[in-house]
């Protein structure tokens, strides 16, 4: 029994050092920025710092607003949920973003991400739709502030 | 009860003046909803007798009243919406709605209301929907005494029970909402009243405000939700006589307030929540005459909260009464009852002679490193709390209740 505990604590210690994304526990985890419980599998986001610290967000706009508050951070992974494949997080730097009134997002920015450009195509038809790459998106949010 | 009787009476009286009635049943001349709808004149009443009727995207585009008999069921066949209300003056009463569709990308609802004025949705039962009642860009509506229940517990593909978006002047009253994502969600909703609802066992919130101003919620119960109520980015919200009970969990609160201005939190009860009220970026909010019983944290104040007032509250047996994450304090705590107050009252004016410091040093440690919570009941922590109380170094110097009450405020005093 004692050895099990020891093993477990060693495992935990090791696990917490890994620079890896963590699974989002939908319905239980809270957003690191706005404190809302994360439930929307189509708009969640996550970042992992180079030191292995995990931050989970209920919306992509929360992640970007959080980034804007920090001075200098070194981040290993930027991840956003793929709108077309709920629950699946994709690399934000290679994702395609859309701001469209047709798709409301949890924090009111109407911002969604797509892993594949083809999945994004059918949504562009809406009159309010604007598409972005990752860098353009960061610029867009900087100008808003 | 009398209200119902009056409403009922009004309906009975209004029927003869407002056109005819059409009966729908298996043995009547009119056997389907489509037929009945086709022959109905505006302001007619459809009486739906017992039986199961197929209703897939059933659109109501003229003023109508739909009344269900006991045993009247609308079956959506798990396709899409069941009932769509797209006209003014539509009333839906006493129906049971089952098998609404589900979708990741479309917000299917059992009852969908869009661009309608003066509608009412009363005493309906909605079983296992995606969204229960979804209302968009509609005004002057009443949603009362409905039951919306879903069994999607601990799953994230649930919709909300009552979801209103860009609406004004809604009354949401005496509904029973459970097993949903949010019991009630108000987004861009103004001048509305939420009262007497029982919202429990929902995955996220019992009630959720987002970008909504000038609303009230009174006399509701929020039990065992992911978190009781979240009020975010809203102004002039009145919160009175609600009960927030057993909202437990790591990201769980009785009441979550974020970016709120000019609100009133009065006469509420917070019982056995992980955090009674979590406050971030809230200004000019009055917290008066609330009861905080046996919460982990009664009140947790995070950054950027100014000129808030806490007065005449009862803080009873909470692990932490107030927790702060900064040394600055611009909020007023005065004249509350603190069950852990150990001062005395020599002049017998029912006000403690020694000020009370509600923030324990240990709460700062827990803020920084949550795992230290296991030390909560240890002697060492008692010692550092005591020494900090005697000569404060870390806790905000002016965060003091200068007039702590010696007796708890009972209801008749409030």
CB contact under 8 A, A30 and B280: no
Mean pLDDT across chain A: 84
For residues B91 and B67, give the distance between their C-alpha atoms in angstroms, rounded to a whole number.
8
For residues B175 and B199, give the distance between their C-alpha atoms in angstroms, rounded to a whole number.
8
Q: Which residues of A touch B256 (CB under 8 A)?
A: 35-36
**What is the sign of the dihedral through the CA atoms of A21, A23, A24 and A25?**
negative
B181 touches chain A (CB under 8 A): yes
Strands annotated E in A3-140: 45-49, 54-57, 75-82, 85-91, 96-99, 111-114, 130-132
CB contact under 8 A, B104 and A26: no
Return phi, psi of residue A30, to 5°: -100, 155
| Those residues with Cβ within 8 angstroms of residue A10's Cβ, 6 or more apart along the chain or in another chain | none
Residues of chain A with pLDDT > 70: what percent? 88
Residue B6: burial class (beta carbons within 10 Å; 0-12, 13-18, 19+): exposed
Q: Which residues of B touch A36 (CB under 8 A)?
A: 204, 230, 232, 256
CA neighbours within 13 Å on the CB side: how many for B100? 32
Task: Decide if pLDDT at B211 tops 50.
Answer: yes
Domain for residue A16, yes or no? Answer: no
Domain for residue A94, yes or no? Answer: yes
CB contact under 8 A, B251 and A30: yes
Predicted local distance difference test score (pLDDT) of residue B18: 53
Element (H or E) spanning B36, and its range? helix B33-39
Predicted local distance difference test score (pLDDT) of residue B241: 94
Number of domains in chain A: 1
Prediction pTM value: 0.84
B251 touches chain A (CB under 8 A): yes
Q: How far is CA A111 from CA A54, A94, A125, A128, B297, in A?
A: 22, 16, 15, 12, 34
Closest CA to B49 of B25, B77, B81: B25
Residue of chain A nearest B233, judged by CA positions: A107
Domain for residue A88, yes or no? Answer: yes
Task: Decide if pLDDT at B9 tops 60.
Answer: no
Q: Which residues of A touch B155 (CB under 8 A)?
A: 27
Model confidence pLDDT, tens digit, residues B341-372: 888 899 888 899 999 988 888 888 888 888 88
Return phi, psi of residue B397, to 5°: -60, -40
| Cα B251 off chain centre by | 17
Model confidence pLDDT, tens digit, residues A82-128: 998 888 899 999 999 999 888 888 888 889 999 888 888 888 888 88
Residue of chain A nearest B302, judged by CA positions: A35
User: Which of B23-27, B208-212, B361-365 is the most confident on average?
Assistant: B208-212
Domain for residue A2, yes or no? Answer: no
Q: Which residues of A touch B203 (CB under 8 A)?
A: 27, 37, 39
Q: How far is A102 from chain B (nearest CA, A)?
A: 10
Predicted local distance difference test score (pLDDT) of residue A18: 73
In our burial notation (b when 16+ CB lie closer than 10 A, e otherwise), range B296-325 reads: bbbbbbbeebeebebbbbbbbebbbbbbbe
B226 touches chain A (CB under 8 A): yes
CB contact under 8 A, A42 and B232: no
Model confidence band, residue B315 (pLDDT cutoffs 50, 70, 90):
very high
Domain for residue A114, yes or no? Answer: yes
Comparing B145-159, B170-184, B215-229, B235-249, which segment has the lowest mean pLDDT? B145-159
* Boundaries of domain holding A89: 45-143
Q: Find residue A22's DSSP bridge partners.
A: none
Predicted local distance difference test score (pLDDT) of residue B16: 47
Element (H or E) spanning A13, and its range? helix A2-15
Q: Give the DSSP letter of residue B40.
A: P
Q: How many residue pairs from chains A and B have C-beta atoms closer than 8 A?
A: 52
Question: Do residues B271 and B249 lie in contact, with contact meaning Cβ atoms separated by under 8 Å?
Answer: no
CA neighbours within 13 Å on the CB side: how many for A93? 5
B230 touches chain A (CB under 8 A): yes
In our burial notation (b when 16+ CB lie closer than 10 A, e otherwise), range B243-270 reads: bbbbbbbebbbbbbbbbbebbebbbbbb
Q: Which residues of A touch B157 (CB under 8 A)?
A: 41, 86
Domain for residue A3, yes or no? Answer: no
Angle at the Cα of A85 (from A84 to A90), degrees rounded to 5?
Answer: 100
Predicted local distance difference test score (pLDDT) of residue B324: 83
Predicted local distance difference test score (pLDDT) of residue B153: 56
For residues B32 and A65, give the distance between their C-alpha atoms in angstroms, rounded to a whole number.
53
Helix axes A134-144, A60-69, angle to 10 degrees: 70
CA neighbours within 13 Å on the CB side: how many for B207? 32
CB contact under 8 A, B258 and A40: no
Question: Do residues B129 and B159 lie in contact, with contact meaning Cβ atoms separated by under 8 Å?
Answer: yes
Domain for residue A15, yes or no? Answer: no
Model confidence pLDDT, tens digit, residues B80-125: 899 999 999 999 999 999 988 887 777 889 999 999 999 999 999 9
Return phi, psi of residue B12, to 5°: -55, -45
Domain for residue A130, yes or no? Answer: yes
Task: Decide if pLDDT at B195 tops 90.
Answer: yes
């Amino acid at each position: 029994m004692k050895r099990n505990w020891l093993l477990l604590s060693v495992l935990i210690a090791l696990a917490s050092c890994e620079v890896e994304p963590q699974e989002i526990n939908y319905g239980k985890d809270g957003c690191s920025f706005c404190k809302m419980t994360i439930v929307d599998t189509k708009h969640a986001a996550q970042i992992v710092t180079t030191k292995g610290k995990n931050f989970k967000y209920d919306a992509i706009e929360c992640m970007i607003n959080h980034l804007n508050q920090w001075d200098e951070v070194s981040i290993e992974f930027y991840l956003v949920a793929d709108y077309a494949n709920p629950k699946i997080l994709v690399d934000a730097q290679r994702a395609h973003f859309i701001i469209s009134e047709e798709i409301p997002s949890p924090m009111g920015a109407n911002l969604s991400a797509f892993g594949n450009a083809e999945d994004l195509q059918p949504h562009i038809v809406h009159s309010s739709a604007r598409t972005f790459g990752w860098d353009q998106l960061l610029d867009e949010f900087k100008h808003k502030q | 009860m009398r209200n119902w009787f009056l409403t009922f009476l009004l309906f009975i009286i209004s029927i003869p003046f407002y056109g005819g009635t059409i009966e729908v049943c298996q043995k009547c001349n009119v056997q389907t909803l489509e037929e009945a709808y086709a022959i109905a004149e505006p302001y007619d009443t459809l009486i739906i007798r017992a039986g199961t009727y197929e209703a897939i995207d059933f659109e109501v585009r003229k003023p109508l009243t739909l009344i269900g008999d006991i045993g009247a069921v609308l079956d959506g066949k798990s396709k899409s919406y069941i009932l769509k209300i797209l006209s003014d003056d539509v009333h839906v009463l006493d129906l049971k709605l089952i098998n609404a569709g589900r979708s990741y990308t479309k917000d299917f609802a059992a009852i969908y209301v869009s661009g309608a004025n003066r509608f009412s949705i009363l005493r309906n039962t909605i079983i296992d929907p995606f969204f229960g009642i979804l209302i968009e860009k509609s005004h002057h509506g009443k949603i009362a005494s409905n039951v919306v229940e879903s069994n999607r517990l601990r799953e994230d593909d649930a919709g909300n029970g009552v979801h209103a978006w860009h609406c004004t002047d809604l009354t949401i009253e005496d509904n029973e909402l459970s097993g949903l994502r949010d019991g009630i969600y108000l987004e861009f909703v103004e001048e509305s009243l939420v009262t007497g609802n029982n919202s429990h066992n929902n995955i996220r919130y019992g009630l959720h405000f987002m970008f909504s101003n000038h609303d009230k919620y009174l006399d509701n119960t929020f039990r065992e939700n992911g978190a009781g109520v979240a009020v975010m980015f809203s102004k002039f919200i009145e919160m009175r006589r609600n009960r927030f009970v057993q909202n437990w969990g790591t990201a769980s609160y009785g009441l979550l307030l974020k970016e709120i201005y000019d609100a009133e939190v009065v006469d509420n009860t917070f019982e056995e929540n992980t955090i009674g009220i979590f406050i971030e970026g809230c200004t000019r909010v009055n917290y008066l005459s609330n009861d905080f019983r046996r919460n982990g944290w009664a009140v947790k104040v995070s950054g950027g909260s100014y000129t808030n007032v806490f007065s005449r509250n009862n803080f009873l047996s909470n692990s932490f009464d107030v927790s702060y994450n900064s040394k600055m304090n611009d909020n007023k705590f005065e004249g509350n009852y603190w069950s852990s107050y150990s001062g005395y009252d020599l002049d017998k004016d029912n006000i403690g002679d020694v000020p009370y410091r509600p923030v324990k040093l240990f709460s700062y440690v827990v803020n920084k490193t949550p795992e230290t919570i296991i030390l909560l009941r240890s002697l060492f922590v008692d010692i550092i709390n005591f020494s900090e109380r005697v000569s404060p170094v870390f806790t905000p110097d002016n965060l003091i209740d200068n007039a702590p009450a010696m007796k708890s405020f009972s209801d008749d005093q409030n």
